[in-house]
Amino acid sequence: MASQTYQIAVLPGDGIGPEVVEQATRVLKHVSEKSSKFKLELNSYDFGGAAIDSAGEPLPETTLKACKSADAILLGAVGGPKWGVGKVRPEQGLLQIRKELDLYANVRPALFPSESLLEHSPLKTEVARGTKFIVIRELVKGLYYGDRKEADLDTPGSDGEAYDMMVYNKADVQRITRLAAFLALQQNPPAKIISIDKANVLATSRLWRRVVTETIENEFKDKNLELDHHLVDSAAMVMIANPRKLNGIILTENMFGDILSDESSVIPGALGLLPSASLSELPTGEKPCKGLYEPIHGSAPDIAGKGIANPVGTILSAALLLRWSLGLDKEATAVEQAVRKVLDTSDLGGYGLRTGDLGGKAGSKEVGDKVLEVLDTLL
Ligand code: NAD
Ligand code: IPM
Ligand code: MN
C-alpha cells in the first residue's frame, strides 16, 4: 500500500529547546518506523536565538517557508540571556510565526498526565485533586500585536512615554469562541466554558464578554453549553485556592492566557509537563489542521546544557501534533499512555521515572528512552 508522507518542520530553538525536542523527535521517528501506512519526515530549521546567530534574524525566510509548507511544526523554546531584550530578540520570531500562520488559538491543557503526580503539586493534594481544565488563549491579537511605542529615555527632555495598545474586534472573539465551544462539545458531558476578562475596566474586555455570550447563544443554542464569566484578578486567585471551580474550558485573551497558563501548569506538578497547540482552524481530526506544537515552558537558561530538562511537555506536544494535525489519534493516545506509565507510581507496572523538577533523578534522555520502550509495546 502506498504510504502517506507527512512533513514536520522541527524548530529546536534555544536553551533546553534542543534537549527536549530531541526526545520528542525520537518519539515521532519511532511512531513513523512502526507504521506501514504513513511516514513522518522531520527536518530541523534554525529559529530564535540560534537563527539570530546563524542568519541575523530570529525567523529566517527558509525557516518560515518550511513552516508554511509543512503539515505541522514542533518547537522547543526560544530566548535566553545571550540575546537579552535588545533590538533583535528571539521572541520576535515566535510572535512573527504565530502571526504569519494565523495561529489564533493556543490550547494549553492543565491536565494531570498522571494522578500520582498529585503528591508533587505545590497545592495541597485535596485542593489539586480533580483539577481538569484547558486554557484557550487567543494568540494573534491583543497587547502583543497592537501599536507600540518604546520609551525614549536617553534624549534629554523626552517624557519617556511608552505604550502597548490592546486591540480586538468582533471577528477575533467570534472565532476563538467557536474553537472553545468545539473543544467543550468534544467532552462528554460538554465542558463548561469559563471566559476570563477584565470587563470592569477594559473596553476590549467588554467587547470580549458580549461577543463570547452572543456567539454561544446564537450559534450553539441547541447545545445548552454552560458559560460563565470571571474577572481575571479573582480568577487567578481561585485557580490556586480552589482550582476545580474552573474545571472546563478557560477562554481568554492573549496576555491573560499567557499568565494564567503558566500559573495553571504547576497544579499538575511542574511547568515542564504541559504541552500546547497553536492552531489556525478547528482541530476536527478529520482533515489536517495546521498547527505549531510546543511545551508551554521557555528555554530555561538556568538548567540548559545539563541534560536534566523535563521532556514530557514536548513529548505530549508531539502527541497533540499527531492527533490534531495528522489525524493519528491511535498513535497520539499511545504516546500519552506511554508517558503516563513512565511517570506513574500508583499504577501496577508504572515506572515512576521523573526528572528533577518532579522530585526525580532521571535525565531527559533516560525519560525519552523509557517512553520509547513503553511505546514500543503499545504500537
Ligand atoms: P522558563 O519557562 O524558561 O523557566 C522558568 C523556570 O521553570 C526555570 O526555573 C526553569 O528551569 C524551569 N523549567 C522550565 N521548563 C522546564 C523543563 N522542561 N524542565 C525542568 N524545568 C523547567 O521561563 P523564563 O526563565 O522566564 O524564560 C526564559 C526564556 O525563555 C526567556 O527568554 C523567555 O522569553 C523564553 N520563553 C520562551 C517561550 C517559548 O519559546 N514559547 C516560552 C516562555 C519563555
Ligand atoms: C509563551 C511565551 C511567549 C509568549 C514569549 C516567549 C513571547 O511566554 O509562549 O507563553 O508570551 O507568548
Ligand atoms: Mn508564556
Nearest ligand (C-alpha, residue 76)? 1
Instruction: Give the number of the ligand closest to the Cα of residue 83.
Output: 1
| Signed CA dihedral, 16, 19, 21, 27: sign only | negative
| 206 band by pLDDT with thresholds 50, 70 and 90 | very high
Q: What is the mean pLDDT of residues 168-187?
A: 97
| Average pLDDT over the chain, rounded to an integer | 95
Closest CA to 254 of 95, 100, 134, 20: 95
What pLDDT is attached to residue 265? 86
Give the closest residue to 13 by CA, choosing from 238, 308, 295: 295
> CA–CA separation, 18 vs 22, rounded Å?
6
- Please name every residue paired with 134 in a beta bridge, in sequence order, or none if there are none: 109, 249
| Ligand 1 center to 85 CA (angstroms) | 15
- Please give all residues whose beta carbon lies within 6 A of any atom in ligand 1, as ranges: 16, 20, 77-80, 91, 94, 271-272, 294, 297-303, 309-310, 313, 357
Contact 209, 215 (CB under 8 A): no
Q: Could you identify the atom of ligand 2 that is nearest to the CA of residue 294?
A: 9
Nearest CA, atom 37, ligand 1: 298
Query: Looking at ligand 1, which atom is closest to the CA of residue 76?
Result: 40
Q: Is the pLDDT of residue 302 over 80?
A: yes
Q: Which CATH number fits domain 123-146+161-267: 3.40.50.410, 3.30.365.10, 3.90.1150.10, 3.40.718.10?
A: 3.40.718.10
For residue 238, the model assigns a pLDDT of 97
Cβ of 49 below 6 Å from ligand 2 = no
Q: Where are the domains of the chain?
A: 1-105+113-121+283-379, 123-146+161-267
The residue-averaged pLDDT of 325-343 equals: 95
For the four alpha carbons of 28, 31, 36 and 38, in that order, the dihedral sign comes to negative
pLDDT tens per residue, range 69-84: 999 999 999 999 999 8
pLDDT in tens, 217-265: 999 999 989 999 999 999 999 999 999 999 999 999 999 999 999 899 8
In this prediction, residue 378 has a pLDDT band, given cuts at 50, 70 and 90, of very high
- Mean local confidence (pLDDT), 59-74: 97
Hey, what CATH class is 1-105+113-121+283-379 in?
A: alpha beta
The answer to whether residue 182 scores a pLDDT higher than 70 is yes
Confidence (pLDDT) at 288? 74
Q: What pLDDT digit, counting tens, does each position of 272-299 carry? A: 999 999 999 998 877 778 899 999 999 9
Separation of CA 142 and ligand 3 centre (Å): 14
Checking 161-170 for CB contacts under 8 A at 24+ apart, the result is 166/142, 166/202, 166/204, 166/253, 166/255, 167/141, 167/142, 167/204, 168/138, 168/141, 168/142, 168/204, 168/207, 168/208, 168/253, 169/207, 170/207, 170/211
> Band of the pLDDT at 2, cuts 50, 70, 90?
low
Task: State the pLDDT confidence band at 92, using cuts at 50, 70 and 90.
Answer: very high
Mean pLDDT of 181-186: 96
Q: Whose CA is nearest to atom 9 of ligand 2?
A: 296
pLDDT of residue 120: 85
Burial class (CB in 10 A: 0-12, 13-18, 19+), 338: buried
Segments in 101-231 forming alpha helices (H): 125-128, 170-185, 203-219
Asked if the domains at 1-105+113-121+283-379 and 123-146+161-267 fall in one CATH topology, the answer is yes
Least confident of 172-181, 268-277, 305-314: 268-277
Closest ligand to C-alpha of residue 143 is 2
Reported as a single tens digit per residue, the pLDDT across 107-140 is 999 887 778 888 888 999 999 999 999 999 999 9
| Distance from residue 360's CA to the centre of ligand 1 (Å) | 19
Q: Over 70: is that where the pLDDT of 1 sits?
A: no
Q: Tell the residue nearest (CA) to atom 8 of ligand 2.
A: 258
